[in-house]
């Protein structure tokens, strides 16, 4: 880490991170390393548009990519094929009913890669924040089995998406669209997707320069949010 001259996060969980403009260009957005994943530090990081992403067993790395991948809730869309699959009634969607299980699903190995940044420490902090009504999950069920979901953090009118998973065809897509439609009803301004990929772009995601992203979240996190557990408040249209 010394070679990269990165900012080292100290022990004080309330201490601010360095300005995001100091992040490296290569690798894109790497800002700092070290520290821990306790809830106070995570909240401080996300409010500044910074998130942890690292391999288990390695130092914690903190990122703020430029550009930033985001979804405006009103712009999300499903393909006709996925819409027909949901409308067939084969899936059921809920929120905040299986938060820890969704995190476990997101931590499962993918494409032959065994490593994950969703460590026991990160999970414990996100579960604590969930109990405080700050982090949330959307679940997709098939025959009483959890087959997909997404989780993240809501601060003000910004939802910071963390990860999603799928054990059945299109389950994660349906979770994402259900989340976006609910966020739109609640007047959320932005869903942070962190890193761009073709899958998200195909569903309506776009990129914002880091400076614009920071301006939007700085404004959005100050607004009144949908606080508490979303289980009973979350509504899903019977057909899309």
Q: What band does 6 get if pLDDT is binned at 50, 70 and 90?
A: confident
Domain of residue 38, CATH code: 3.30.70.3550
Query: What is the total residue count of the chain?
Result: 240
pLDDT in tens, 114-133: 557 899 999 999 999 999 99
User: Within this chain, do residues 46 and 119 fall inside the same structural domain, yes or no?
Assistant: no
User: Within this chain, do residues 55 and 102 fall inside the same structural domain, yes or no?
Assistant: no
Structure token digits, residue 224: 């009144």
Domain of residue 165, CATH code: 3.40.630.70
Quote the pTM value: 0.95
pLDDT in tens, 162-174: 999 999 999 999 9
Question: What is the number of domains present in the chain?
Answer: 2
Question: Per the domain annotation, does 134 fall within a domain?
Answer: yes
Q: How many CB atoms lie within 10 A of CB 19?
A: 12
**Given the structure tokens 């490593």, which residue do they identify?**
115
User: Within this chain, do residues 60 and 73 fall inside the same structural domain, yes or no?
Assistant: no
Q: Domain range holding 153?
A: 69-220
Q: Which of 39, 65, 91 is the last residue of a domain?
A: 65
Q: Could you tell me where the DSSP H helices lie in 13-166?
A: 39-47, 80-87, 99-107, 120-131
Q: How far is CA 205 from CA 2, 57, 76, 138, 197, in A?
A: 35, 32, 7, 19, 9
Question: Per the domain annotation, does 109 fall within a domain?
Answer: yes
User: Within this chain, do residues 40 and 83 fall inside the same structural domain, yes or no?
Assistant: no
User: Within this chain, do residues 39 and 99 fall inside the same structural domain, yes or no?
Assistant: no
């Amino acid at each position: 880490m010394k070679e990269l001259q990165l900012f080292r996060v100290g022990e004080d969980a309330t201490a601010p991170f360095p300005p995001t403009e100091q992040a490296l260009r290569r690798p894109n957005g790497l800002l700092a390393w070290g520290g821990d994943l306790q809830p106070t530090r995570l909240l401080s990081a996300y409010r500044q548009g910074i998130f942890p992403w690292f391999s288990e067993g390695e130092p914690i790395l903190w990122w703020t990519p430029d550009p930033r991948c985001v979804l405006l809730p009103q712009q999300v869309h499903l393909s006709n094929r996925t819409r027909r699959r949901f409308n067939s009634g084969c899936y059921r969607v809920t929120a905040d009913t299986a938060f820890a299980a969704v995190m476990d699903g997101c931590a499962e190995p993918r494409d032959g890669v065994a490593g994950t940044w969703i460590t026991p420490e990160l999970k414990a902090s996100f579960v604590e924040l969930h109990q405080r009504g700050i982090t949330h999950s959307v679940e997709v069920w098939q025959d009483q089995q959890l087959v997909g979901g997404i989780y993240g953090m809501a601060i003000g009118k910004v939802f910071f998406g963390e990860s999603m998973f799928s054990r059945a065809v299109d389950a994660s897509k349906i979770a994402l669209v259900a989340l976006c439609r609910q966020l739109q009803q609640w007047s959320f301004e932005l869903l942070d997707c962190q890193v761009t990929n073709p899958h998200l772009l195909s569903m309506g995601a776009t990129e914002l320069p880091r400076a614009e992203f920071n301006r939007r979240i700085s404004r959005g996190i100050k607004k009144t949010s949908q606080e508490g557990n979303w289980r009973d408040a979350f509504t899903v249209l019977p057909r899309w």
